[in-house]
Structure 1
Amino acid sequence: MEVKELGHVVLYVRDIERSARFYRDVLGWRQILPAAGGDATLGKVPVAAFNAPSGRTHHELLLIEVGEDAAGMPEGRRIGMYHFGLKIGTSDDELREALAQLKAAGTPVLGMSDHTATHSLYIADPDGNEIELYVDVPGVDWENPAAIGAPVKPLRL
């Protein structure tokens, strides 16, 4: 077997409407389910599906509502997903624009990092799922392991 690409991410969320607004209105994903004015369910559970404006695939993100009484993520070190990354461009100007949009939307930035190969902002969705918004640094040699494993430095935009 050979994995060809990461296809999609599925997240449990407390409130489908709140989370759909965040992914659609703050991050700019294209909502494909439910269709305008409709409902979408998986069994009897509300869902929302999204893809990037590029339309690369049928869906890249699926949200499944589990309700307000669902257990939250434990603090500190734990097993499971740390974050998922979303490439938003190839320049620091695009990252600065994203930072301004996040601030305007009232979305806190949890951190900013220079990974040599990428420059990244870290945020969380309304349920605490961490998201890395990044740009690739032009001219990085992806075949050089030192570029990927370089020490993380603070990012100054």
Structure 2
Amino acid sequence: MPIQRLNHAVLFVSDVARSTDFYCDVLGFRALPQAFPGAAFLQAAGSANDHDLGLFQSQDTAPGGHRAGGVGLYHLAWEVDTLSELRRVQVRLAEAGALTGASNHASTKALYARDPDGLDFEVCWLVPDEAVVAELSAMTSPTRPLDLDAEIAKYGADTPGGPRTDPTVWQHLRT
């Protein structure tokens, strides 16, 4: 199956605290505790995603996109339904010379790439709800290299991932 849905957006912003306040106060997002310096992760009301919007501190407060170091869109994350589909996309991206990285974020398994204009994007598979807490508990750092063969051995090539259906999956992070 091809891409199924948009998973999240990440923006470079001129002031992370101000932007967090705006998205929370004006649009009803809630800030999640798994932030790190210079970043915030927000979840939309009623969402079961680990985050719907990521905010990263820009090095330059002028608009212009991250290539110029300015405020703008960092990347979009597209979601696939199975690890076999993530593998297929990985192969296609590599063949096209577009693959730039692969990461294990505990709750997601992600590929990173650039389009022909140099715009960054992510393609990810969401760990099933019933396994997220165990994945997050075993996490020793926010990001690890992705071993797609190991993930396929662990979850199976055709195990459906997201979309998140249980908003309480992330509740333990807010306590």
TM-score, normalised via structure 1 length: 0.44
Q: Which entry has the higher C-alpha Rg, 1 or 2?
A: 1
TM-score, normalised via structure 2 length: 0.40
